[in-house]
Amino acid sequence: MEKTDPKVLERAQRWLDDDYDQETKMRVREMIENEPVELTDSFYRDLEFGTGGLRGLMGVGTNRMNKYTVGMATQGLANYLLECFSEEEQLSVAIAFDSRNNSPFFADVAAEIMSANGIKVFLFDKLRPIPLLSYAVRHFGCQAGIVVTASHNPKEYNGYKVFWEDGGQVVPPHDKNIIREVQKIRQLDQIRFGRVEELIEILDEEFDRLYIDTLKTYSLLPAGTASRKSLKIVFSPIHGSGVFLVPNALKAFGFQQVFNVPGQDVVSGDFPTVQSPNPEEASAMKMALDRGRQVGADLVMATDPDGDRVGVAVEGPEGDYVLLNGNQTAAIMIYYILEQWKARKQFTGNEYLVKTIVTTEVLAEMARHYGVECYDVLTGFKYIGELIGKLEGEKTFIAGGEESYGYLVGDYIRDKDAIISCCIVAEATAWAMEQGKSVYDLLAEIYSRFGFYHEKLLSVTRKGKAGLEEIQALMTRYRENTPEAIMRVPVIRVHDYARGETRNMVSGKTSALDFPTSNVLQFILEDGTIITMRPSGTEPKIKFYVGVRGTLKDASGYRAVREQLDKLADEYLRAMEPA
């Protein structure tokens, strides 16, 4: 039998000696006696509390999601809140959870510890999407929020996301400060267990109605539009938290023909019908597409388990469904919104959009056309939420989005919202139908008016420490020896987000980048191509994003131009991919 590291055994022994529950101790003994590999993986380190919270495999041990690691994280967060808001008479947090196994239990553990620390808790009675948590934080004036979720990770995982008082995910300096407080919790007796029932308020469907009423204020489709009644929509929550709210919201927006996918309405952390509950993957959309064909749906949508991202499929030119990527869905939503704002004469010259630096540039082109400002932020919707907060009271936020299927319309929350996204995509589809068009036709219209932008992503993973060093060396090489051309196309500008500067390759001059520091390089080429290199901070992995641009004269040439741009994007990716 494989010999176990003495340090691992020492860490495991502490769980046997301290006041852990008997079931936990039995499992630790079982691993010590029979499962040395599992024991090592479970105890060789502490489960890392990162800048967004926890995420890991569920089980017993310091490197697993369980009652005690969740307890340490919650106690650390509680300590930080009590320090930050010491002048507040009564602190409060909102807590939500998704469909994952043990999510209700972990949420209850967090509620117990927060209440034991004298902090009032608004706890949802059953699974809810992330946007509803953000809404609750803002509605009740909470100092923080917690969502128990691991997004679209495999079923063996769970996680814990932390939100700040603005309703957005924590950003600097609070993220690092919370981490420090969590790291101070080393012993079980530092965690305050002991539920204070009078400090825990349960939120039910009545709160859902408040949220949906808020969403309805962002509806832009005229009330009498016939397509509201005739549009056929298929929706799947993929076993997750959108199961109640999305259909209810669509119906509140006036869409009467909303069809479910019965097998995927089953709330289950095992996600029994999919390999991965990720609407970015075609396989996760299969059952919804089959249901769409069965009922003759005009629109098919599916949300991820925590209800903040949405995948969309629409009718293609040859009758079957076409899956939209995140950039295309963002373009359709925002084009519809801008056209409606223009028709209603709502523009004052003080409006803006937000996108991430790797999201399609067609959004910026649209913004220029309509006289709307478009801001870029680093990858991660928390930066979109942070900017909305900074500009609150000065400018009017219209919408924002990222290529990874997350969007927000309006500033009622500070995170991406798949529920309002479903409603606005449905409105855009109905609006197109009123004009005798399909959503696919709208895409062609967008690309012919503002330029045909096409994006692709390549993710490269290496192994272990050597792989991490290889990727770091690759970034250093491109940073220190910037190519003058890529595929013989001159590089005209380089954005170095680690150094916080932009270099003009023609003049040689540099200027400051007003962004948080991030290990990202972005190359702007003479032909309009944008190539971005973004390594993972913790894994031997790097992503290459390529955005190319072409011209579409009319809808009939859509397929040919797309194929041409797809080939060009592939060539750029091959040129960048490490050997």
Q: Return the SS3 of 438.
A: coil
DSSP state of 264: G
Distance CA 406, CA 134 (A): 15
The arrangement of strands across the sheet holding 310-315 comes to: 257-260, 232-236, 299-303, 310-315, 321-324
Distance CA 534, CA 106 (A): 33
At which residue do the structure tokens 């290496």 appear?
462
Count Cβ atoms within 10 A of the Cβ of residue 367 and give its class: 0-12 exposed, 13-18 middle, 19 or more buried.
buried
Q: Is 92 a catalytic residue?
A: no
Distance CA 336, CA 567 (A): 29
- From the list 151, 236, 241, 404, the catalytic residue is 151
Q: How many CB atoms lie within 10 A of CB 570?
A: 14
The backbone torsions φ and ψ at residue 522, rounded to the nearest 5 degrees and listed phi first, read: -135, 130
- E strands in 370-509: 373-377, 396-402, 406-409, 452-461, 485-486, 489-496, 501-504
Count Cβ atoms within 10 A of the Cβ of residue 320 and give its class: 0-12 exposed, 13-18 middle, 19 or more buried.
exposed
Confirm if 233 and 249 have CB atoms less than 8 A apart. no
In Å, what is the CA distance from 141 to each residue of 20, 120, 128, 165, 166? Answer: 35, 11, 19, 7, 8
User: Which amino acid would we find at residue 56?
Assistant: G
Task: Kindly state the tokens that stand for 570.
Answer: 């592939």
Which DSSP string do the residues of 157-214 spell out, in sequence order? EEEEEEEETTSSBP-TTHHHHHHHHHHT--SGGGS-----GGGEEEE-HHHHHHHHHH
Q: Return the SS3 of 85.
A: coil
The arrangement of strands across the sheet holding 92-97 comes to: 53-57, 157-164, 144-148, 92-97, 120-124, 200-203
Count Cβ atoms within 10 A of the Cβ of residue 538 and give its class: 0-12 exposed, 13-18 middle, 19 or more buried.
exposed
Count Cβ atoms within 10 A of the Cβ of residue 275 and give its class: 0-12 exposed, 13-18 middle, 19 or more buried.
exposed
Give the DSSP H or E segment for 292.
helix 282-295
HSE of 146, CA atoms in CB hemisphere, 13 A: 32
Provide the annotated active-site residues: 151
